[in-house]
Amino acid sequence: MAGSFDRFWISSTKEDVMAFSRRNFLKYAAMSAGGTLLAETPFLSARAREKAEGGNVRYVPTTCEMCFWKCGVIAKVVGGEVVKLEGNPLHPQSRGRLCARGQAGIGLLYDKDRLKVPMIRTGPRGENRYKQASWDEALGYVADKLKGVEDKYGPEAVALFAHGSPGTYFNNVVRGMGSANVAYPSFAQCLGAREVAWELTYGQGPNSTCERVDLANSRVIVLFGTHLGENMHNSQTQEFAEAVGRGAKIISVDPRYSTAASKASMWLPIKPGTDLALLLTWINIIISEGWYDKEYVEKYTTGFEELKKEVKSYTPAWAAQETDLPMRQIVESVRDLGRYAPNVMLHPGRHFSWHGNDVQRGRAMAIVNALLGTWGRPGGIWLPPKVNLAGFSENPEHPKANKDAVVFGDYPFAGGEGLTQVLRETTIKGDPYPIKAWIVAGTNLIKTMPKPDLTRRAIDNLDLLVAVDVMPTDTVMMADVILPEATYLERHDGLFTITTREAGIALRQPAVAPMYQSKPAWWIGSELCKKMGLEQYAVKDTWEGRMRRQAKKWGIGFDELADTGYVAIPGSAAPYITATNQPVFKTPSKKIELVSSELEEEDFDVIPKYEPIEQPKKGEYRLLYGRSPVHTFTRTVNNQWLWELKKENEVWLNKKEADRIGVKNGEIVRLENQDRVVSEPVRVRATERIRRDCVFMIHGFGQHSPAMSRAYNRGADDQKLITRYKVDPICGSTGMRVNFVKIIKEA
């Protein structure tokens, strides 16, 4: 029987939903924040704690997924309910502590709005009319539709968009059919350009979870728009706090006085889009004033003389005009780096899709680090741990795709995660061939990709959209079939290889059984393979069984791992260069390439060159966006615990600009961008902590799905205003900080 979406929204009962007040949340947060006490207490395994406490109590070590940092977490379960989450003191990504989001995983588990049953759309797309289905019916429906698309258009007409662990399991479906069209937003819309920049320079990236930054031992830390303390990457934020407490110099290069900037000895409020001008000038000063590590450069780099010649024209006086920074700050900041090198770093950053020149900006950052000799040095970028675990697979190789994937476009350095916007464009245009089915697992594309109207157009061009998720996001509510995934506290995933200074193995295991009719993504993907006649790609028995076999192959006791949550690999730590621990650079020259041979082969600039970008017109402001320490994109804005801490976003506007246009702090306004797209109402935060030529919003608010009852229509959607983007010609990432807005006062 068909009906509106909420008709099949299984109501929550007192028994299956725990009610938590803000007071309780803060009380638990304070308990966990006292992590030093926990960290200094001798570690007790889960079984030992259960034995000590007695009663109906269980402790379950697992891995958090409230963001993608993969912190170790220990769930306390009483009477079948998770009542507390705390950081695992053995795990190097948490060190006994969790951020607010990590502790609020209980809010996700018991969210009254979470997806509960499989559903099939019965009305026009977007009208929220669905019928409840059994798993057999829903998966059978998906399989029939996918086979129909394959028969009519070929297997390459099926595509996968994913983020996080769920993508692993649906790769087998899509690639097993013979399609290579798989894309993750984490490349084109996040850190892809950064990874490519460092790979071109060093032969490898600085890692993503977590970056190999030796913050605790650094004497000078430079942050280019990196918002430590707001993105709340747990272990990195802990080390940053340690560095600040120890007296490390922090230099924040940011148009906004962020939380990290408030800890800085020097804030450089740079004109947005001119970072490369500053970096090239720094390179010139480092070389011309002799701050570079001559022995290191001679031994480990190539292209120094050409670099020296190329950057001579980038003078401090020129940079001051271009960046709108005082010349004194430009010179003093880089001299601080030189003075304390090599125990310094330019943090590689994370979200890197800014202006369309992002690979070259990342290259310049990597080059500064190389000149100062930071790679493999204390306080710089540590070397990756030495680990050589055998590959593990219980499935045959996927068949070779009949047609080339479209997901790399014409960009020679597009990464293995593909380009989401190219896949979207192909879906709209049908060129070079049609894309007619999307499986979307764990990502809210409408709130992730620039120009969301194109995402909706592409969806309207599909024969099938399948959404696998925990929450009824905007993208989920456009789907033809909705498959409810179990939360991370209800499923097995992994095993995860953790690479900090040492290497280790962690796991995700369920604290409680899946609630309602939700299922783990591994089960959904495996059962869909069976329905598709792809049994060879299904899981043999259970994911736990697979994890046990993998642990056995690696020589790890699975029961010990399940009891502690993390097992270190002995002898893997080798973070610094020594006579017997030399760095390996996987570039063509086997050295750090200050002049890139790979870029030369593709006819790109071998050394970064500065080109001015478009600036806002009079009365306009560049739209900047970022993170809140209590939210992860759109994933957490409906979480009861976190929603109570941050219900909606604001627009940061310079106080002098607010006075000039007659807007008061707290006043409700709208933003109108250059394409006349108007935002939802949003409150003004009039502040001197931002430049006059830009505004700032926290990303992830302005949800349009009524099924997200707390987040629905709260705050303004920054993604809606990102109707333009500039593609990096080297890697295809989408620079999204190229939009301009005006402030419209509410009548």
Separation in Å, CA 185 to CA 108, 442, 485: 22, 11, 20
Distance separating alpha carbons of residues 106 and 84, to the nearest angstrom: 7
**pLDDT of res. 494:** 82
**pLDDT of res. 89:** 96
Residue 634, φ and ψ in degrees, nearest 5: -95, 0
**pLDDT of res. 738:** 98
Q: E-strand spans in 612-662?
A: 621-626, 650-654
For 290-310, the pLDDT digits (tens) are 999 999 999 999 999 999 999
Distance separating alpha carbons of residues 91 and 97, to the nearest angstrom: 10
Q: Which residue, 344, 368, 383, sits at the end of a domain?
A: 383
Residue 422 has pLDDT above 90, yes or no: yes
> By percentage, how much of the chain surpasses pLDDT 70?
94
- Residue 280 located in a structural domain: yes
Please give the single-letter amino acid code of residue 432.
P
Distance separating alpha carbons of residues 286 and 309, to the nearest angstrom: 13
Q: Which residue, 335, 363, 383, sits at the end of a domain?
A: 383
Task: For residue 424, give the nearest of 403, 446, 402 by alpha carbon.
Answer: 446
Q: Which residue, 383, 417, 434, sits at the end of a domain?
A: 383
Mean pLDDT confidence for 238-242: 96
For 245-274, the pLDDT digits (tens) are 999 999 999 999 999 999 999 999 999 999
Name which residue leads in pLDDT, 208 or 386.
Answer: 386
Please give the single-letter amino acid code of residue 401.
A
Q: pTM of the entire structure?
A: 0.94
For 576-609, the pLDDT digits (tens) are 999 999 999 999 999 999 999 999 999 999 999 9
Name which residue leads in pLDDT, 10 or 284.
Answer: 284
Q: Which residue has the tokens 């890697």?
A: 731
Q: Which two tokens stand for residue 218?
A: 């650094």
Name which residue leads in pLDDT, 11 or 49.
Answer: 49
* Contacts (Cβ under 8 Å, ≥6 apart) of 51: none
Residue 16 has pLDDT above 90, yes or no: no
> Across the chain, what does the average pLDDT equal?
93
Q: Which two tokens stand for residue 550?
A: 């993998």
Burial of 53 (0-12, 13-18, 19+ CB in 10 A): middle
- Residue 44 located in a structural domain: no
Q: What CATH number should be reported for the domain holding residue 663?
A: 2.40.40.20
Residue 77 has pLDDT above 90, yes or no: yes
Q: What CATH number should be reported for the domain holding residue 212?
A: 3.40.228.10
Residue 13 has pLDDT above 50, yes or no: no
- Residue 554 located in a structural domain: no
Per-residue 3-state assignment (H helix, E strand, C coil) for 527-551 = HHHHHCCCHHHCCCCCHHHHHHHHH
Mean pLDDT confidence for 456-464: 98
**pLDDT of res. 42:** 62
Distance separating alpha carbons of residues 204 and 592, to the nearest angstrom: 10
Mean pLDDT confidence for 460-486: 98
Mean pLDDT confidence for 563-568: 97
For 487-504, the pLDDT digits (tens) are 999 999 989 999 999 999
Mean pLDDT confidence for 93-109: 96
What's the total number of domains in the chain? 2
- Residue 262 located in a structural domain: yes
For 359-411, the pLDDT digits (tens) are 999 999 999 999 999 999 999 999 999 999 999 999 999 999 989 999 999 99
For 656-678, the pLDDT digits (tens) are 999 999 999 999 999 999 999 99
- Residue 21 located in a structural domain: no
Give the range of the structural domain holding residue 291, as residue numbers without chain letter.
189-383
**pLDDT of res. 555:** 95
- Residue 505 located in a structural domain: no
Distance separating alpha carbons of residues 746 and 681, to the nearest angstrom: 8
- Residue 31 located in a structural domain: no
Mean pLDDT confidence for 502-513: 97
Residue 17 has pLDDT above 90, yes or no: no
In the structure, what pLDDT confidence band is assigned to residue 37 with cuts at 50, 70 and 90? very low
- Residue 662 located in a structural domain: yes
Separation in Å, CA 65 to CA 73, 85, 267, 461, 494: 10, 12, 33, 32, 12
What is the DSSP-derived secondary structure letter of residue 191?
A: I
